[in-house]
Amino acid sequence: MTSKKTLPDILVSLLLLLFTLYYAFTFIDFTIPPFEDAAMLMRYAQHLAGGHGIVWNIGEKPVDGATDFLFMVASAALIKLGFTVGQSVRGIGFASHLLIVLLVYWTNRRIHNGNIPFSILSGLYLAVGTGLSYVSAYFGTPFFALAAASTWTFGLLLMKEGNPRFWLSLAFALSGLVTGLIRPEGVILAALMLLAVIFMRGLKNSVSIIFIFGAVFLILGGAYFLWRWNYFGYPLPNPFYKKGDEGWKWDSFQHSMLNSLRLCLPMVFAFILGFRSKETVKTTIAYLIPVLGFTVAFGMISDEMNYGARFQYAVVPIALMSWIPLSSGIKFDWLNQLSVKERGAYLVAGVALLAGLVYYSWFQNCFLALYQQSCDRPYERDGRLGMAQMLADYRGKGYVIATTEAGLIPYYSGWDAIDTWGLNDQFIAHNGSITVEYLDLYKPHIIMFHDYYSPLVPPKLTEANLAQRWFSMTITLKTYAEENGYVLAAVFGDSPYDTHYFYVRPDFEDSANLVERISEFQDYFYPTTGKRSINYAGFSEP
């Protein structure tokens, strides 16, 4: 039988689920296509489900460009069961979001003995935050956040137990391992959580926890690490060689700190309050270790592809499961001295404040994409999707596209693709840049790239510009195309200062037809604005 103590929590949990479902299907736009970067992982999941292995191009060597390893594997498993790629990716993310909402509520209620209103507030803050927007854009971010939140829950339990049970230490270690298998930085986050547990318990009282954690990561994690090194040929995911090859990055560090601050701003005040007394300082420092440490760690890699601060999102449920004990003990006895009217005014003000905090969490959905124009829709119509669907008419013919836009176009076209930036190409990632010799190996049928020049605004080949890796890469592509007789079919953009180039090789069966279809493509909406593009290919250089 359900106890009287548990029944209210079950009812609240049902209400939180119903509210989250209502919010999801009322305020989240699930009609949008995948965000450019999310489509990369979908390509890997589709290939894996098809029995081709973890490959970017079918028939080629494996490459670990899908940084969300376990999310990709789980998506592929659902695809195998008959779900579409989109249903699999979104389904995992959606279910994960619902589970985190419940986990945040129950952790606050059962571990911290938080009151129902504050526990509900924590759940609501997460429910209307950016989690469902990641799901809408086809990212697996909530799946990683769920693993991180589960690990922190076990960590919080270990902090409170005098004699930690074996199963709890094992669950903590296994959950941490899963967090690391979903995304590599999960290993850092799990290690930080272990450090927080040790800080709270003391080294002497943490020996068994450390031993079990180390054994799990050494045996199971080590086996996975050796397998992936053998399978892919390199120990780390491919994007890490591209995004983390320049050492410490102060701009990434600053972005990461600002992202975490923005996402967790209301909880920051609770952490500050935690330093008010000797009784709460130790707990505050322990709870800060994973939040602050994980945020700082992103100074080691480039901030590119960080849609909606998704890299830092895992700290949000951690902070929501930590703030209540830091703010407890604050006395409100003075309220008893007020009149009924005064207490009523304070009650209304308090409810308004809590509503404002939930609104603040929802408002973060207005800052998902760099060029977002409204809170209702994170990004506009994207001509790359329409172009890819047109190119899909030619799939299966062995055609190759070399492109800087390695998301929508490769996934929806089904063409073999060279990711010229290198996130999905081991040679380019380890070499540092694409080369003419490497292009010659493929002789791509289409070369497509994005940069900030056009026939009306020619590129300035100054030493400073060429030192910029993106600019240097596109100049290599442009020069290769022109020196090998490629036809400039289109230069799409809503201004001549921000464009997408399309070159077509002139010597294959569908060449002339592709030049015609690309040059006359009417629905190339520029992704940053959603405006119909102008084809600047017909303009001569000044």
Q: What is the pLDDT of residues 43-99, one digit of tens each?
A: 999 999 999 999 999 999 999 888 899 999 999 999 999 999 999 999 999 999 999
In a shared domain, residues 363 and 415 = no
In a shared domain, residues 311 and 450 = no
In a shared domain, residues 360 and 459 = no
Rounded to whole angstroms, the Cα distance separating 404 from 309 reads 22
Rounded to whole angstroms, the Cα distance separating 156 from 464 reads 51
Residue 485 exposed, middle or buried by CB count within 10 Å (0-12, 13-18, 19+): exposed
The pLDDT assigned to 232 comes to 93
CA-to-CA separations, 178 to 219, 306, 517, in angstroms, rounded:
14, 22, 47
What's the mean per-residue pLDDT of the chain? 93
The pLDDT assigned to 542 comes to 60
The pLDDT assigned to 1 comes to 43
In a domain, 50, yes or no: yes
Query: Is residue 2 predicted with pLDDT exceeding 60?
Result: no
The pLDDT assigned to 159 comes to 96
In a shared domain, residues 181 and 324 = yes
In a shared domain, residues 108 and 22 = yes
Of the three residues 316, 333, 367, the one that is the final residue of a domain is: 367
pLDDT-based confidence at 334, cuts 50/70/90?
A: low
Rounded to whole angstroms, the Cα distance separating 324 from 121 reads 11
In a shared domain, residues 308 and 430 = no
The pLDDT assigned to 331 comes to 66
In a domain, 524, yes or no: yes
Domain limits at 451?
A: 383-538
In a domain, 522, yes or no: yes
In a domain, 378, yes or no: no
In a domain, 259, yes or no: yes
In a shared domain, residues 268 and 139 = yes
pLDDT-based confidence at 448, cuts 50/70/90?
A: very high
Rounded to whole angstroms, the Cα distance separating 180 from 217 reads 10
The pLDDT assigned to 56 comes to 96
The pLDDT assigned to 246 comes to 66
In a domain, 32, yes or no: no
263 close to 315: Cβ distance less than 8 angstroms? yes
Of the three residues 367, 392, 422, the one that is the final residue of a domain is: 367
Query: Is residue 357 predicted with pLDDT exceeding 60?
Result: yes
In a shared domain, residues 109 and 55 = yes
In a shared domain, residues 125 and 155 = yes
Q: How many domains does the chain have?
A: 2
In a domain, 2, yes or no: no
Category of 202 on φ-ψ map: left (φ > 0), alpha (ψ -120 to 50) or beta: left
In a shared domain, residues 406 and 447 = yes
The pLDDT assigned to 187 comes to 96
In a shared domain, residues 215 and 350 = yes
Of the three residues 299, 334, 367, the one that is the final residue of a domain is: 367
At 77, is the secondary structure helix, strand, or coil?
helix
Q: Where are the alpha helices (DSSP H) in 311-462?
A: 315-320, 323-327, 340-363, 383-391, 408-413, 426-431, 436-442
Rounded to whole angstroms, the Cα distance separating 535 from 494 reads 9
What residues have CB less than 8 Å from 378, skipping those under 6 apart?
29, 32, 35, 133, 136, 137, 308, 365, 368, 369, 372
Mean pLDDT for the stretch of residues 511-516: 97
In a shared domain, residues 387 and 363 = no
In a domain, 516, yes or no: yes
Neighbours of 468 (CB within 10 A): 11
**Spatial CA neighbour of 17 closest among 93, 90, 92, 102:** 102
250 close to 293: Cβ distance less than 8 angstroms? no
Structure-token pair, residue 182: 């979903």
End-to-end distance of the chain based on CA atoms, in angstroms? 82
For 223-250, b/e burial (b = at least 16 CB within 10 A) is ebbeebeeebebeebbbbbbbbeeeebe
Strands 416-419 and 400-403: parallel
Mean pLDDT for the stretch of residues 354-369: 93
